[in-house]
A and B are shown apart, each in its own frame.
Chain A
Amino acid sequence: NAGVTQTPKFRVLKTGQSMTLLCAQDMNHEYMYWYRQDPGMGLRLIHYSVGEGTTAKGEVPDGYNVSRLKKQNFLLGLESAAPSQTSVYFCASSRRTGDGWSYEQYFGPGTRLTVT
């Protein structure tokens, strides 16, 4: 049981290049999230998904796209990378508890992306 895994762990891009970050979870969770973490800023939600085939924008979605074609995978794409996207990216997943109230999130180890 690997939990939440992220690929790759590190990446350096040049401005204008594109890439896709892969998140996979083996806990059969319905919900998945992409965050970015910048120094002194905490985590900010980029996009999220409440189920296979559905995605929604979070707090900072500009410059990113996502897809959830399979329940266990959530992909984050950067179509034209910019230096402002230099950050650490975290994926998380959660299930809905029986009473519908509460969601603890399980995080992956992160991807450190540098855009030069």
Chain B
Amino acid sequence: SQQGEEDPQALSIQEGENATMNCSYKTSINNLQWYRQNSGRGLVHLILIRSNEREKHSGRLRVTLDTSKKSSSLLITASRAADTASYFCATGVGSSNTGKLIFGQGTTLQVKP
């Protein structure tokens, strides 16, 4: 079963615009992570936010977490063509000594030059 649901499934914007992707989940979590996947490649970790944090920044990335609503958002500011990729949220669930993640279905982002 899928824990995370991402919205939108696909997003197309112009270079320089901001991109916002949302993730909702069903059960309690110990952390939430965002990953990027370029076409035909493996996933690359972007940012991790713990369940007791509300917001985190990393370069042009801003992640928020609302545990009361069981949702998170990823904001990419001033997007570039190189940001074109699929973005996945992943929730850390279960006991803290397994590191298991459950991935959402992803948002496909296209940034037009």
Residues of A at the B interface (CB closer than 8 Å) are: 4, 31, 33, 35, 40-45, 48, 50, 56, 58-59, 90, 92, 94, 96, 100-110
Contact = CB atoms under 8 A, between A and B. Distances in A.
Contacts of A48: 98-100
B18 interface: no
Nearest to B5: A42
Contact of B42 (A31, A40, A110): A110
Contacts, number: 75
Contact of B99 (A41, A44, A105, A108): A105
A59 B104 CA distance: 13
A45 B102 CA distance: 8
Contacts of A33: 99-100
22 contacts: A4-B42, A35-B103, A42-B103, A42-B105, A43-B90, A43-B103, A48-B98, A56-B98, A59-B102, A90-B43, A94-B99, A96-B97, A100-B97, A101-B50, A102-B48, A102-B50, A103-B31, A105-B43, A105-B90, A105-B99, A108-B42, A109-B42
Listed residue (A43, A59, A90, A109) with the most chain B CB atoms within 10 angstroms of its CB = A43
Which 5 pairs, one residue from A and one from B, show the smallest C-beta to C-beta distance?
A103-B99, A107-B42, A43-B103, A42-B105, A42-B103
Nearest to B42: A107
Contact of A58 (B1, B31, B41, B100): B100
Contacts of B35: 107
